[in-house]
Amino acid sequence: MSSQPVIIVDGYNYILRCKPVPRDNEKALWQAREEFVRQMSVYRAGKKLKVIIVFDGQDEKGLARTSAAGGVSVQFSSAPQKADPHIIKLIEKSASPRNITLVTSDRALARLARSMGCTIWDTGALYNKLSSNDLPDEFQQKYSTNLGQNEIDTWLDLFQSGKTGNNSKHSDDDNN
């Protein structure tokens, strides 16, 4: 791994602690996984940061062991291996474990990674960052929802009076 900051996430540890997903519902778990990868892509946008999400091994044929979406690397440990040994291997291969932040609530994994020089975030810390609109500046500016009182009053006037740019009334109706 390079010297840039890296966040490694213990994927199912995060999802199963922060999202209400029934463990026995594969479709719901898959959807939660896809949503989490999307959230991490948005989070890392505009940051000089590498994100790796590691999930427990998959037995299903056709699932990629590694994929990338929006700059987020998604990796699966080899089935039936859990994600923890895969995460430890990633840290061991790193030239600079001090640049790695591991996101997990697994105490044993966190203790081992900390002893290797990593920073540890509890899953709740990442959840709070993803929930707090901690988005890059260009997203904040483009999708800003902070309206001034004049803008709010203008929008209220438009919607309350029904005067929008696509008004369906025709001027001919008033002449009849």
Tell me the domains of the chain and their CATH numbers: 6-140 (3.40.50)
Asked whether residue 174 carries a pLDDT value surpassing 50, the answer given is no
pLDDT tens figures, 2-39: 578 999 999 999 999 988 887 778 788 888 888 899 89
Q: Where are the beta strands (DSSP E) in the chain?
A: 6-10, 50-58, 66-69, 72-78, 100-103, 119-121
Average pLDDT, the chain: 78
What's the rounded Cα separation, in Å, for the pair 74 and 78? 13
Average pLDDT for 134-141: 50
